[in-house]
């Protein structure tokens, strides 16, 4: 376990340096956690002076758009480091930001079935009813668009849970993507889904702990969505 923790410290340090290189400043903290499906970077204190001005002027879409472009190039550099460090293939990346909390996540989807990164449970996951969590995610998803064809919960650490949703796009969304309106669709889904998950979800009752952050991102081409819950320590 200590060997894995050393590797996590290495990649989280590399991530901080990479963000500093791309944005001109690094985050206040970057915590990495891994299981057999996902490597999650939880990032705090990462808003540049220019972004802060834009956010004050209510131009969060401009900040989100610029970040998405820069992060896309950043994770391509990160991909090779993850693969070499953990001797594992990386598929797609997901990322999302909570500007009011000054926090964010970057998640690498891992491509293997080996049980190399099983976390010590210490009984934490027994307090979370996974079926209730999946049902609540499905309920909110149904309010916004449709109930996913498949919903799977992945416990990354005692304070981080990732939820994979497959089959979430409705026909009109697929038509908009086909006509090149992917960026507009992402902005709309981001605002709508986050509002519902934050306001209407009963997640603190399910986790029995305070939920500090809820992050959402999508792979529209593969009709997948990834959620990340960060709980209070």
> pLDDT tens, 93-142?
999 999 889 999 999 999 865 566 655 444 444 579 999 999 999 999 99
Give the CATH class of 2-110: alpha beta
Which pLDDT band holds residue 24 (cuts at 50, 70, 90)? confident
Six-digit token string for 174: 């697929």
| Cα-only R_g, the chain | 17
Runs of H (alpha helix) within 30-86: 49-56, 60-86
Residue with structure tokens 């970040």?
67
Q: Taking the model in full, what pTM does it have?
A: 0.91
In angstroms, what CA-CA distances link 189 with 177, 180, 197? 13, 15, 12
- The pLDDT tens digits of the residues spanning 169-218 come to 999 999 999 999 998 898 888 889 989 998 999 999 999 999 999 999 99
Structural contact between residues 60 and 102, judged by C-beta atoms closer than 8 angstroms: no
Structure confidence at residue 154 (pLDDT): 95
Structure confidence at residue 120 (pLDDT): 44
Mean pLDDT, rounded, for 18-31: 90
Structure confidence at residue 183 (pLDDT): 86
Mean pLDDT, rounded, for 21-29: 88
For the chain, the straight-line distance linking the first and the last C-alpha, in angstroms and rounded, comes to: 20
**Buried-state track 25-48, b at ≥16 Cβ within 10 A, e below 16:** ebbeebbbbbbbbbbbbbbbebbe
Residues in the chain: 233
Element (H, E) at 229: strand 224-231
Structural contact between residues 173 and 163, judged by C-beta atoms closer than 8 angstroms: no
Six-digit token string for 163: 């939820």
Higher pLDDT, 64 or 110: 110
Structure confidence at residue 187 (pLDDT): 86
Structural contact between residues 216 and 192, judged by C-beta atoms closer than 8 angstroms: no
Q: Across the chain, what does the average pLDDT equal?
A: 89
The DSSP symbol for 93 reads: E
Mean pLDDT, rounded, for 3-26: 91
* pLDDT at residue 48 greater than cutoff 60: yes
């Amino acid at each position: 376990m200590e060997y894995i923790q050393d590797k996590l410290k290495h990649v989280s340090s590399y991530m901080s340096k990479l963000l500093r290189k791309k944005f001109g400043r690094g985050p206040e903290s970057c915590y990495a956690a891994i299981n057999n499906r996902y490597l999650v970077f939880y990032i705090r204190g990462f808003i540049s002076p220019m972004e802060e001005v834009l956010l004050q002027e209510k131009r969060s879409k401009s900040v989100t758009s610029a970040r998405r472009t820069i992060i896309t190039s950043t994770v391509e550099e990160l991909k090779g480091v993850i693969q070499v460090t953990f001797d594992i293939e990386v598929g797609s990346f997901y990322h999302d930001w909570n500007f009011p909390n000054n926090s964010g996540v970057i998640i690498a989807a891992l491509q293997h079935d080996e049980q190399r990164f099983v976390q010590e449970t210490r009984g934490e996951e027994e307090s979370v009813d996974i079926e209730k969590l999946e049902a609540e995610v499905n309920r909110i998803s149904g309010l916004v668009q449709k109930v996913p064809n498949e919903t799977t919960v992945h416990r990354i650490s005692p304070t981080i849970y990732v939820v994979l949703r497959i089959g979430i796009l409705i026909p009109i969304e697929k038509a908009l993507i086909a006509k090149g309106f992917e960026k507009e669709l992402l902005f709309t889904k981001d605002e709508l889904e986050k509002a519902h998950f934050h306001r209407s979800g009963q997640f603190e009752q399910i986790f029995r702990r305070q939920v500090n952050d809820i992050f959402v991102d999508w792979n529209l081409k593969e009709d997948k969505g990834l959620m990340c819950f960060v709980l209070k320590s």
